[in-house]
Amino acid sequence: MSSRAFRRLNRDADVIRISENAEEGKELEEEPEFISVACKKKTPAANPFALLNESDDAEDESEDKEEELNTLPSKVAKKPRKKKKRRKARVAKEEPEPEPRDSDQESGDEVDVAVREVNKLLGEVGKERRGEREEGEGEGEETESSPVPHSLLKVDRRFLNAENEMRRIFGSKVVRGDQVRQKAHRKVHLRPTVLATPKDTWPKIEKLGLTMQQDGVRDWCQYFHFEHSPAYQKIQLRFWEAVDTFDPNSIAAILHAHPYHVDSLLQMSEVSRLGEDIQMASELIERALCSFESSFHTLFNYTQANCRLDYSRAENRSFFLTLFRHLSYISRRGCHRTALEFCKLLLALNPEKDPLCALLIIDYCAVRGGEYRFLIDLFHAWEPHRNLSQLPNFAFSVPLAMFHSQNREEKEGEGGGETEANKRLQDALLMFPCLLPILLDKCGVTLDPAVTSHSLFTQPIEREPNGLKLLMKLYVERSHSLWKEPEVLTWLEANCRVAVARANDKDPLNTDFRAKAVKRYSRVPRNIYRHILISDLDHVVSALPPDMTQTSINSYDPLPPPDSTCGYERPQIQRGPGCC
């Protein structure tokens, strides 16, 4: 048995053997020429990864030689390693006396510090390009000035492809058959992208003049903006003129000449949706995503949740809207896990202002995608800063996620109690009692009349502030299917009974919250209106106030912010809101 194998079996004597073999290593260093000649004759080309192992001890040299003499054929694969070690010994002999190890360590520390600084600046581009994403990686990169923890919004590139999720759901044969039919109409070869998969029937991606520029780095975050070249501005002016004609054929003509003009793609996607051609509407959005991705800045590492875009800049808004509509369409197809990743990307672009209210849909994507732990962690991390419990969707979805998570753990033999899930659901019922009747009505189910007839749940929703009414209707319209499972309904009814008992005991949560709700939800933020308009939920849109429904709103730029800016001026034409 070789000394290496013996040392592995007897690790208690490791220190003694290291000291003994160190002496043998010194003897080997005295004959570097003889050893190097033997290696040159018997080893293949030099191993390009040899530098990775330069920290190995010299003791392994004598052991490798001994094993080579005993079992020469089986050691062919290890010969490059021996050559590397002999070369190290030869260099050590030619060089003067080596530096003390402390200085080497200090220089290594300086290099590590420099690498960490570059990674902070570039968003660890190298790791992202290699596809390495270890759990918890980079969590210490945020500074104290970061208002909320954004590491939860890091995007996993493995889940950005909706086709991969469809393979897991429907099987690879179904998806492969659809791809074969698409390849039968192959026209051109397109460069692969990550956010959307180009179809072979699409025109070749051309550079129209849409580019991305970096604005700087502040507080761990990198700021960017999209920019239109003079050539792209001319196309944009033609697009505005076409929109003024209210003729879809004019926009189609622009797309025929410039197939990747993003605003034209957004507008024609809405035309297709209104014509109930959802497949075409989704495909046009995917094409817009490919156009944006081909113009990304080299430092725009969207997976690290530290890249920001200002929604007030008109050139940036199309990207926000494209992401939202894309996640809506893929969620429609049942790819909720993929939709969650795009929702995290959308929220990470501007988490403080959240211009499209991604927080109103991220809970739905997380629960439908089975990512219960993510939603729970997001709630606990953001609640102290954002008061997520004041939103009906988080008030109900978080306990639902806890319920499912605990059931999953119980099946795996790690389950605990349901105390926290029960408590949070009861609190939600006390804060938003009007949501229960419309939820049960939408689900088409009934609970115990002794519960539903209680005064807590019979208050008319019309008495609620406008903002709260919209939020409750939005949650029910989007997420009612999550509450149809029999075990969920049983759990809901049990907690309704406890909520009724707490209301009978004059629980202050019910009375105090209702007193605050009148002021808290009296004014509806503009981003909530914007979210409802682009969510394709007709029953919620009909609940909007008349000043929203009777106003001309451009689908490619709904409700632009009051502080909107644009990199260039457009002709002064009489039109509704939505211009730069």
**Residue that terminates a domain, selected from 351, 368, 402:** 351
The answer on 392 and 308 residing in a single domain is: no
Percentages helix, strand, coil for the chain (3-state, rounded to 5) are 65, 5, 35
Q: What is the pLDDT of residue 392?
A: 97
The answer on 385 and 323 residing in a single domain is: no
The answer on 476 and 339 residing in a single domain is: no
Q: pTM for this structure?
A: 0.73
Q: What is the pLDDT of residue 272?
A: 95
User: Is 176 domain-assigned?
Assistant: yes
Name the phi and psi angles at 44, rounded to 5.
-75, -165
Residue 470, C-beta contacts closer than 8 angstroms, at least 6 positions apart: 524, 528, 532, 540, 543, 544
Residue 313: strand pairing partners: 565
Q: What is the pLDDT of residue 176?
A: 55
User: For 449-486, how does the pLDDT look when each residue is reduced to its tens digit (9 = 90+)?
Assistant: 999 999 999 988 888 999 999 999 999 999 999 999 99
User: Is 43 domain-assigned?
Assistant: yes
The answer on 383 and 472 residing in a single domain is: yes
Distance CA 548, CA 529 (A): 8
User: Is 243 domain-assigned?
Assistant: no
Residue 308: strand pairing partners: 223
Average pLDDT of the segment spanning 109-137: 45
The answer on 475 and 382 residing in a single domain is: yes
The answer on 299 and 176 residing in a single domain is: yes
User: Is 412 domain-assigned?
Assistant: yes
User: Is 569 domain-assigned?
Assistant: no
**Residue that terminates a domain, selected from 334, 351, 368:** 351
DSSP states of 197-239: ---TTSPPP---SEEEEEEEEETTEEEEEEEE-HHHHHHHHHH
Q: What is the pLDDT of residue 169?
A: 78
The answer on 407 and 312 residing in a single domain is: no
The answer on 468 and 442 residing in a single domain is: yes
Look at 94-98, 236-240, 544-548 and tell me which has the smallest mean pLDDT: 94-98
The answer on 476 and 380 residing in a single domain is: yes
Q: What is the mean pLDDT of the chain?
A: 78
- Split into its structural domains, the chain has a count of 3
Distance CA 567, CA 210 (A): 12
The answer on 321 and 280 residing in a single domain is: yes
User: For 249-297, how does the pLDDT look when each residue is reduced to its tens digit (9 = 90+)?
Assistant: 999 999 999 999 999 999 999 999 999 999 999 999 999 999 999 999 9
**Residue that terminates a domain, selected from 295, 321, 351:** 351
The answer on 367 and 309 residing in a single domain is: no
The answer on 325 and 371 residing in a single domain is: no
Distance CA 477, CA 457 (A): 19
In 342-470, DSSP assigns E strands to none
Higher confidence at residue 14 or residue 146?
14
User: Is 147 domain-assigned?
Assistant: no
pLDDT for residue 58 is more than 90: no
Q: What is the pLDDT of residue 491?
A: 96
Q: H or E segment at 271? A: helix 262-274
What is the residue range of 184's domain?
Answer: 155-200+220-236+249-351
User: Is 39 domain-assigned?
Assistant: yes
